Structure 1
Amino acid sequence: MGARTGLLVYADGDVPGLLKRAGEADHRDRTAAMVRRLHPGREITECGGSTLNGGVYPPSGTVYAASWPGVEFIGDQQVMIDFPSRLPGHLVAASAGRRLVLHAMHSVVDWLAFAVWEDGRLVRSLSLSPDSGIMENLGEPLAFELPYWNGDHPVTPWPDDDDEEYPLPFHPLELADDALRALCGFVQLGYPEPDDVDGDTIRLHGFEIRDPD
């Protein structure tokens, strides 16, 4: 299946620091209310949950979520969009007074997209893949990105690629993991560091989302 993510995090401050203090999913009713608020007009039923590490790419039609004081997490394939700046307005509006992080990647096509909003204002959005190129590049690059744009992570072609030049200055999945660690405090592809969030100990509730009949 490879590495895939589709997630949003709403936070009152530094996401990694807040997630480190999270644990078992908070009150189910509180989380369910958040999911309903973010999916207006949809039919929502509870289902089996997951962990933070396992909940970053739920099955289609399923959301993994949790709400703790100061931070809320939502794993949902529907946020895997090529242009993060076009995230539905009600999802952005829900971040008023808070930080909102979107992270999405798909290792089969080497695609990465991430974005950060502060108090509803988009401050950074990037989406790119080798086949589509740079689809969106808004705002100033964040600190963790700079080594990639500065050429410190060149892509070495495979021997059977006839030394064909890679169409991007770095591999999107390498940046994807660094973005996930910097923005959310954990990784999917790389090796966890001692101060990373332990995603296996953080529980999420599960919800099935359907359009009404």
Structure 2
Amino acid sequence: MALNRAVLTIWYVNCDNPAAVLETEPKADRGYGRKYLAQLNPLFPVTPIGQFPLNRSAQADDHEFYIGGYPGVTVVQTVIHADKDSPLRLSELNPKLRQALPSEDVYACAVNEKEGWAGFAHWHHGEIKRVFSGTRYELMEDSGLPLTFENPYWAGDKAEPLGGISLPFEPRDLMEEAQRHWLGVSIDNEGPDLHVVGYAVDGRPEPKVDTAPQVKSVSQLTSDAAFKLGMGPSNADYDDYESPEEEPTTSTSENFQRVLETSTDFAKKATIRAGSFLRNATDRARDYIADRRNR
């Protein structure tokens, strides 16, 4: 199989406990990603395309980079391609990408879901320590000493056997286990949010954000007016508040007039209630004074 495309997630790690960093769900900023891309290729026409959790979004597409820079840990997701007529090999990952940031450890995890291919690689101080890649039916790379977490997979304890020369596990499962082992957290919906900023480098325009004000319904306008007057369901003294029926074809001027009329009606009610309260209070005070004089 001449695999020539995969989604790559690469981790640049310069701390002893990346899990402690990632579990805090650190934020990402645009400036850091721009600096990374400028160093990778100063000629990139960089366009921000959004900010979102890496583990709760669609994967990066061609000419896209999802970047999160955290204390001691940087993650970048993008799409990589092999040279024409050559298979994709993680051990031959573009040195410019692998060395984009000075790092003690670099972990690369890649997947092509359509082909059922996945792989992972680890470099320590620039020296490759472990690399694996392939499909269930074709092993492409397998060098370096297998790590302890790999044992149950090679023993066939993690997947149903398919027989023949097939691998006893799904390569993507092993790749995800390697990522969990190295980072100390799951990079999925059950793990912490890993905030990244997305960039396109193909010259596309920045997505437009709809900033048009929302038009409120008649009932919402009436409710807002009632709240400002101290009336409505939230005020126990005005439990007879009712919203007028909404007419879908009413013009804007008619809607506004109805709100004014309704608000005026509420104000009248408030005045009547207030007057009644004051009269009752006055009567009670007068009776109290008269009673005191007669004693």
Which residue identity does 1:179 align to in structure 2?
A
Q: Does 1:10 align with 2:4?
A: no
Shift, 1:104, TM fit: 1.1
| SS of match in other structure, 2:19 | helix
Quick one: which of 86, 101, 104 aligns to 1:98? 104
Work out the number of aligned pairs and report it.
Answer: 192
Which residue is 2:181 aligned to? 182
Which residue is 2:198 aligned to? 206
Shift, 1:61, TM fit: 1.5
Q: Does 1:32 align with 2:34?
A: yes
Which residue identity does 1:207 align to in structure 2?
Y
Q: Matches of 2:20 and 2:7 in 1, distance apart?
A: 20
Q: Mean Cα displacement is larger for which, 119-128 or 92-101?
A: 92-101
| SS of match in other structure, 1:140 | coil
Cα pair 2:49 2:198 within 8 Å, conserved = yes
| SS of match in other structure, 2:10 | strand
Q: Matches of 2:39 and 2:71 in 1, distance apart?
A: 17
Shift, 1:74, TM fit: 0.5
Which residue identity does 1:83 align to in structure 2?
R
Which residue identity does 2:60 align to in structure 1?
P
Which residue is 2:166 aligned to? 167
Cα pair 2:8 2:111 within 8 Å, conserved = yes
Q: Mean Cα displacement is larger for which, 64-73 or 49-58?
A: 49-58
Which residue is 1:62 aligned to? 64
Cα pair 1:112 1:172 within 8 Å, conserved = yes
Which residue is 2:93 aligned to? 87
Cα pair 1:82 1:127 within 8 Å, conserved = no
Which residue is 2:123 aligned to? 117
Shift, 1:205, TM fit: 0.8
| SS of match in other structure, 2:140 | strand
Shift, 1:55, TM fit: 5.0
Cα pair 1:9 1:101 within 8 Å, conserved = yes
Q: Matches of 2:99 and 2:171 in 1, distance apart?
A: 28
Shift, 1:198, TM fit: 0.9
Which residue is 1:150 aligned to? 155
Q: Mean Cα displacement is larger for which, 66-75 or 169-178?
A: 169-178
Let me know the Cα RMSD of the aligned residues: 2.6
Shift, 1:5, TM fit: 4.9
Which residue identity does 2:24 align to in structure 1?
R
Cα pair 1:111 1:128 within 8 Å, conserved = yes
TM-score by length of 1: 0.77
TM-score by length of 2: 0.58
Shift, 1:69, TM fit: 1.8
Shift, 1:169, TM fit: 2.3
Shift, 1:98, TM fit: 1.8
Q: Matches of 1:187 and 1:11 in 2, distance apart?
A: 15
Name the structure where helix makes up a greater proportion of residues: 2
| SS of match in other structure, 1:41 | coil
Q: Matches of 1:105 and 1:65 in 2, distance apart?
A: 18
Shift, 1:86, TM fit: 0.7
Structure 2: gaps (5+ residues): 1-5, 204-295
Name the structure where strand makes up a greater proportion of residues: 1
Structure of higher CA gyration radius: 2
Shift, 1:208, TM fit: 0.5
| SS of match in other structure, 2:21 | helix
Which residue is 1:46 aligned to? 48
Structure 1: gaps (5+ residues): 158-163
Which residue is 2:291 aligned to? none
